[in-house]
Structure 1
Amino acid sequence: MNICEKINHAGASFQSLSESWADSSSPGGKMILTIFAGIAEFERELIIERTSAGRKLAQKNGVEFGRPSKFSPEQIDAVKTLINSGSPVKQVAETFKVHSATIYRILQKLDRNNIEA
């Protein structure tokens, strides 16, 4: 509908070659395009609503979104042990063959979990 309005504003009109009802120069064509645009918007809102409800239900059921963790719970415990024993982050990262930022993200997640617990 927005594209048709831009075309009309430029002084032209939209007319489908295969669908006679899709003609933005006639009142009937404008009405049909407006109705279809309203239906499309309604359907889009329903999809957003259903998707949001599904995401909330999945989170409630323990589904974690996003990229899978590169570290197992045992490896995370090992990272925590190494850091608590005084090993530098860079050395821990080299031990696990990951970037230092990965270790920092693990430590941030551990800190958040300790604060929330």
Structure 2
Amino acid sequence: MAVLAYARVSTQDQHLTGQLEALKAAGAETIFKEKISGARADRPQLAKLMAVLQPGDVVLVTKLDRLGRSTRELLDLIERIGKAGAAFRSLGDPLWDTSSSQGRLLSTLLAAIAEFERDLIRERTGEGRTRAKAAGVKFGRKPKLSEYQRKEALRRRAAGETLAEIAKSYAVDISMISRLR
């Protein structure tokens, strides 16, 4: 069981010193640190931390906002930590300790609320899509070939012209011509 910590500040002008001291005092053995905006999805040090997690490890941060900027992102990361068999703890937010039953309850409740919210969004999106279709809105990319061009390409195929020649004349990929029925 290792105590792995993550420390982050958003700008190069900010300093990690306070976080590093608090994490070391709390028993962090390895600290992954970076100066990068939390809004960025590609945080290399966080990715490294997630990659080395082992069952029984504890991931430690000074405050929740150091790990994730949105509730959804935070819950997703905590879920990934849990799936790795590790626990999560925030020094500044004592309820967030997934090694305790209270922390697991809080995580479960918030995850359930987030899932409920995702379902509501999915339902509203589906209803909006249905209304749009009923109003005649077409979804997806505009076809590269018109109906006339498709029929003409099929006639040319039937006449023995090669797929490559037909595709080149319409400036499309050979696979598009081969899929025409």
Secondary structure, in 3 states, of the residue corresponding to 1:14? strand
TM-score normalised per structure 1: 0.59
Counterpart position of 1:115: none
Q: How does 1:21-100 map to 2 (within 5 A)?
A: 21-76=95-150, 78-79=152-153, 82=156, 86=159, 88-90=161-163, 91-100=165-174
- Specify whether residues 30 and 83 from structure 1 end up closer, same or farther in structure 2 by C-alpha distance, changes over 3 A only: closer
Q: Which has the higher strand share?
A: 2
Question: Sequence identity of aligned pairs in percent?
Answer: 37
CA distance in 2 between partners of 1:98 and 1:24 (Å): 54
Residue 39 (structure 1) shift:
0.5
Q: Provide the rounded CA distance (Å) in 2 between the counterparts of 1:94 and 1:3.
A: 48
- Pairing 1:14–2:88 present: yes
Q: Give the TM-score of the pair, scaled to structure 2.
A: 0.43
The alpha-carbon distance between structure 1 residues 51 and 97, as it changes in their structure 2 partners (threshold 3 A), is: same
* Correspondence 1:100-111 to 2 at 5 A: 100-105=174-179, 107-108=180-181
| Larger CA Rg, structure 1 vs 2 | 1
Post-superposition shift, 1:88? 1.9
Q: Alignment partner of 2:90: what SS?
A: coil
**Once the two structures are superposed, what CA deviation does each residue of 1:54-103 show, in whole Å capped at 9, x if it has no partner?**
3333333333333321123453454356456x352533323223333222
Cα RMSD of the aligned pairs, angstroms, is: 3.1
Q: C-alpha separation between the residues in 1 aligned to 2:173 and 2:108?
A: 53
Larger helix share, 1 or 2: 1
Higher RCO (C-alpha 8 Å, min separation 6): 2
Q: Which runs of 5+ in 1 are unaligned?
A: 109-117
Quote the Cα distance in structure 1 between the aligned partners of 2:102 and 2:167.
67
Deviations for 1:7-39, whole angstroms, at most 9, x for unmatched residues?
6x55xx321134332122333333222211110
The whole-number CA distance in structure 2 between the counterparts of 1:2 and 1:27 is: 15
SS at 2:89 equivalent: coil
| Alignment-derived partner of residue 114 in structure 1 | none
Distance 1:42 1:57 in 2: 23
Q: 1:34 to 1:95 in 2, by over 3 A?
A: closer
C-alpha distance in structure 2 between counterparts of 1:74 and 1:6, whole Å: 54
